[in-house]
Amino acid sequence: MTDILISGAGVAGPTLAYWLARNGFRPTVVERSQGLRSSGNPVDVRGPAFPVAEQMGILPALREHQTRAKAMRVLGIDGKPLARVPMGAQRAGSQEVELPRGELASVLYAAARDHAEFLFDETITGLHQDEGGVDVTFDRAGPRRFDLVIGADGLHSTTRRLVFGPEADFVRHMGVYVATLPLGEPAREPDEILMYNTPGRLLSIHPANGDALAAFIFRGPAIPGFDHRDMDQHKKIVLDAYAGIGWRVPELLDRVRTATDLYFDSVSQVRLPAWSTGRVALVGDAAACLSLFGEGSSLAMSAGYTLAATLAEAPHDVAFARYETEHRKLVEPKQRNVSRAAGLIVPKTRLGIGVRNLAARVGGTL
């Protein structure tokens, strides 16, 4: 039986593990965190991911955790409502589900855990491949040998760094940052996402599924010395970016100061000339991060399904090439549209905000 190591237990990793097991492989998933991450923006399961979820039998579980947002409410500079935009996921017969990212990861893990070995609080420290397999060393566990290794470990992929090269060679900052913070209480508006903009800044409050989530999305250049794991640094960046802004911003900045569960990162894209080399391949954000605006979770699920299917049909070198050819057709159009999406959500100027708000009022869309 073919042994396959997957690095990352987010969205792509458990999806891939589930389908590899279904296709006769023996998957092991290694995850740096001690458990599944609970923070992050709500995400959508739609498009190519929806039939994958149907075939996995997880749609009822996804709908159980579905967010309560029925519409986006666009606010003016004074905080008063300007426009209401209905949410597609709430329409009758909709083939999409919006839910918190952590809940999606939990559902996928529950589907895969009986079919794969999971090692939490563990990370890969070294990879050496030869014609017959890959020798892997870990931070805590003893060394092991696998037939294949798949990096599903996100934007800051350890697998990609060890095998393909430094992060700076492949990760492109898109001029935007995002921070999300669970508020630990229901939203004041239980079925609406509130969107408040000033030039280059957005604050949104999402009702999620009962525990409101604040998101700070703002424009800014690459930050020298940025450390995606340094929460104290992240808090300072957010506090500086939103200083002096009105509406509910001061109240929510106080929450940032005392937060213990703050997600923060650059909105970035990953672009590599190839997603595999030898016996190592990448999926999800590790291969082609779309970041905040690009349906990354849905495409990560689709990638896991496609990679498992191609491995079941052909030797790994042929399968990796087929998977990449097929999945790039879905990824590349989304990557090209990120700047447009950022312009709608975080306009740079007052004029841009006014034009966006007018379109929302007239057409009911963003």
How many residues are recorded in the chain?
366
Cα distance between residue 133 and residue 191, in whole Å: 51
Structure tokens given for 309: 């299917």
Question: Beta partners for 206?
Answer: 213
Cα distance between residue 214 and residue 255, in whole Å: 10
Quick one: pLDDT at residue 39? 58
- Tens of pLDDT, residue by residue over 246-282, are 999 999 999 999 999 899 999 899 999 999 999 999 9
3-state secondary structure of 219: strand
Cα distance between residue 346 and residue 215, in whole Å: 12
Quick one: pLDDT at residue 93? 61
- Tens of pLDDT, residue by residue over 228-239, are 899 999 999 999
Answer for the pair 294, 273: CB distance below 8 angstroms, yes or no. Answer: no
Quick one: pLDDT at residue 55? 97
**What number is the average pLDDT over the span 47-51?**
95
Taking alpha carbons only, the member of 75, 8, 14, 65 closest to residue 42 is 65
Structure tokens given for 21: 């097991």
- Tens of pLDDT, residue by residue over 148-162, are 999 999 999 999 999
**What number is the average pLDDT over the span 45-66?**
95
Band of the pLDDT at 289, cuts 50, 70, 90? confident
Helix, strand, coil percentages, rounded to 5, for the chain:
40, 25, 35
Quick one: pLDDT at residue 293? 57
Answer for the pair 29, 136: CB distance below 8 angstroms, yes or no. Answer: no
> Which domains are delineated in the chain?
3-66+97-169+269-338 (3.50.50.60), 175-267+344-363 (3.30.9.30)
**What number is the average pLDDT over the span 59-65?**
94
Cα distance between residue 317 and residue 38, in whole Å: 35
- Tens of pLDDT, residue by residue over 186-220, are 999 889 999 999 999 999 999 988 889 999 999 99
Sign of CA dihedral 85, 88, 89, 93: positive
DSSP letters for 79-111: S-EEEEEE-GGGSTT-S-EEEEHHHHHHHHHHH
Cα distance between residue 270 and residue 285, in whole Å: 7
Quick one: pLDDT at residue 68? 83
pLDDT over 60 (residue 294) = no
Cα distance between residue 329 and residue 318, in whole Å: 17
Cα distance between residue 184 and residue 187, in whole Å: 9
Quick one: pLDDT at residue 91? 56
Answer for the pair 3, 86: CB distance below 8 angstroms, yes or no. Answer: no
Parallel/antiparallel/unpaired status of strands 97-100 and 42-45: antiparallel
pLDDT over 70 (residue 92) = no
Band of the pLDDT at 360, cuts 50, 70, 90? confident
Answer for the pair 10, 43: CB distance below 8 angstroms, yes or no. Answer: no
Cα distance between residue 144 and residue 5, in whole Å: 10
User: Which position has the higher pLDDT, 67 or 148?
Assistant: 148
Taking alpha carbons only, the member of 335, 341, 346 closest to residue 299 is 335
Answer for the pair 207, 68: CB distance below 8 angstroms, yes or no. Answer: yes
Quick one: pLDDT at residue 292? 61
Band of the pLDDT at 142, cuts 50, 70, 90? very high
pLDDT over 70 (residue 353) = yes
- Tens of pLDDT, residue by residue over 168-190, are 999 999 999 999 999 999 999 88
Q: If you average pLDDT over every residue of the chain, what do you get? A: 92
Quick one: pLDDT at residue 364? 60
pLDDT over 80 (residue 36) = no
